Amino acid sequence: MDNQSFHHRLLALHYVMPIPLNRLKPLLQVDPDLEKCERMNIHQLSQLLKLTYDRAQKFKVAYVKALGTPLIQAYKTNNITPLPFNHPNYPKQLSTLYDPPTILYAKGCLDYLLMNYFVAVIGARDATDYSKDAMAYILPPLVKHDMVIVSGLAKGADAMAHQLTHELGGKTIGVLGHGHFHRYPKENLLLYNIMEKHHLTLSEYPPYVTSQKWHFPMRNRIISGLSQAVVVTEAKEKSGTVITLQHALDNGKDVYCVPGPITSMLSLGPNQSLLEGAKPVWNGFQIVEELQSRLFQK
């Protein structure tokens, strides 16, 4: 396989149809180098990519056009580095997901992806000062032991986690639910500048893709998939945060919840999760000890 040519064709395909790797595998099994794709008949493309005939027809036209577009140069101009699933910097832990990202578009400190420890710190968009206070106990030991803090660059708890990690001199990764040409929510514009200049942002979507409601559950699987441990500060009983937490539990990750006051609706998610297998956390050293002991045992 000519890796450079494959990279070019994969970028073109993903630009037109940004789908996870599990949906692309049937095509790659038939055409592992993507050398035949542009010449395949519409019926075969329709079957392999599970598209209607009309959509397969439109895909082929757009794909051929994208092949003639200098995407690599365009991404380079915007300081965006595409990391296909076979790239050395692509996080190996994501390949264990049912639906790994086909490509991660990275902006910032790529060496963060080569670190040993990743801890997700997430919570409610309407998080209170209780989340901020909890993070003041949890994050400093993690930062001190060079653990990368992963979150979703949403407002509320996510923004608190990124901001505090930066203030502590640590490393943090923001996983986006849209492409790099967009910044959502607007409240985090200054934080985006900090993240892109000093840290790392990741997206599984090409830069032009805008935020859509269904993108955020997809983003959340990357947050939990990337991390060895997930910490939840505050969350409502039925929320995206709790779904991320459940995904982490189902995939054998360590899940920690900050126990909350029974008078707060935002404590219902963490408190309920403690009954379902999550561990209570009140100090970051608990997480440091468990993760380091597990690595030592390996």
Q: CA 152, CA 143: separation in Å to the nearest integer? A: 18
Please state the domain extents for the chain. 1-69, 108-297
* pLDDT single digits (tens) 53-87: 999 999 999 999 999 999 999 999 999 999 999 99
Nearest Cα neighbor of 228 from 192, 246, 252, 257 is: 252
Q: CA 18, CA 63: separation in Å to the nearest integer? A: 12
Question: pTM here?
Answer: 0.93
% of residues, the chain, pLDDT over 90: 79
Residues comprising the chain, all counted: 298
Q: What is the CATH number of domain 108-297?
A: 3.40.50.450
pLDDT at 295 > cutoff 70: no
Q: CA 171, CA 149: separation in Å to the nearest integer? A: 6
Q: CA 169, CA 160: separation in Å to the nearest integer? A: 14
* pLDDT single digits (tens) 153-194: 999 999 999 999 999 999 999 999 999 999 999 999 999 999
Confidence of residue 2 (pLDDT cuts 50, 70, 90): low
* pLDDT single digits (tens) 244-258: 777 777 777 889 999
